[in-house]
Amino acid sequence: MIKKQKQWPVRAFILIVGLVCLVALEGFFGLKGDTLADREKILNESLPAGGGWTISREKELDGFLISAASGQDGKACLAIFEPAGKGGYTLSASVSQDQGEILVTGLQTGESWYDLVWFQGADTEYAEIRYTIAGEEQAPVRYDTSDMEIFCIENPEKEYTLQAVYFDADGNAYES
């Protein structure tokens, strides 16, 4: 009987040490966001909409990674990953909608604010980004969209509206 009482603390100690080791290994080998596969796993674990996320485009902006992804259920996502030290990244923000819709979000880095725009819905030739500042529509800025890149545009003012219009080869417009 005395033998059994003495074994209980030893077993408890071994169990606690084992749990501590598992937690340490998870932290060491867990998702760091430093690879594309890690960032896809982070999206799959973090976003309620979509699922089966595949990142098709990424762009670096002032140390942040902007990822454009498509989900298995016809959703599209624009995700912002911020640096997390040791070369890793954590998900800081995201927006997702149906793939036929233009995604627009923003990112502040230091003193600068950027508008982030991406469209996965159709093959397009170009996009026009139109700003309205203090009630006055500015001249549209045209971007080539043949490679479906993410647009990162430093915003012109503190208060404004933005409209993104994508055009395909036949002149059909897709608006935000």
Kindly indicate the confidence band of residue 31, based on its pLDDT and cuts at 50, 70 and 90: confident
Is the pLDDT at 60 greater than 50? The verdict is yes
Closest C-alpha to 160, from 119, 123, 122, 106: 106
Identify whether residues 94 and 153 lie together within a single domain: yes
More confident: 68 or 147: 68
Q: What is the pLDDT of residues 107-131, one digit of tens each?
A: 999 889 999 999 988 889 999 999 9
Kindly indicate the confidence band of residue 48, based on its pLDDT and cuts at 50, 70 and 90: confident
Identify whether residues 61 and 12 lie together within a single domain: no
pLDDT of residue 136: 93
What number of other Cβ atoms are within 10 A of residue 36's Cβ?
Answer: 13
Q: Domain range for residue 74?
A: 31-175
Identify whether residues 35 and 25 lie together within a single domain: no
Compute and round to an integer the Cα radius of gyration of the chain. Answer: 23
Q: What percent of the chain has pLDDT over 90?
A: 64
Mean pLDDT of the chain: 85
Identify whether residues 25 and 91 lie together within a single domain: no
Per-position b or e across 50-82, b if 16+ CB within 10 A of its CB:
beebebebeeebeebbbbbbbbeeebbbbbbbb
Is the pLDDT at 12 greater than 50? The verdict is no
Identify whether residues 20 and 48 lie together within a single domain: no
Contacts of 23 (CB under 8 A, 6+ apart): none
Identify whether residues 100 and 40 lie together within a single domain: yes
Identify whether residues 64 and 6 lie together within a single domain: no
pLDDT of residue 176: 83
Q: Is 158 helix (H, G, I), strand (E, B) or coil?
A: coil
pLDDT of residue 174: 93
Identify whether residues 23 and 49 lie together within a single domain: no
pTM of structure: 0.79
Identify whether residues 63 and 106 lie together within a single domain: yes
Identify whether residues 96 and 118 lie together within a single domain: yes
Q: Is 51 helix (H, G, I), strand (E, B) or coil?
A: coil
Rounded mean pLDDT of 95-100? 92
Identify whether residues 18 and 98 lie together within a single domain: no
Kindly indicate the confidence band of residue 155, based on its pLDDT and cuts at 50, 70 and 90: confident
Total domains in the chain come to 2
Identify whether residues 47 and 117 lie together within a single domain: yes
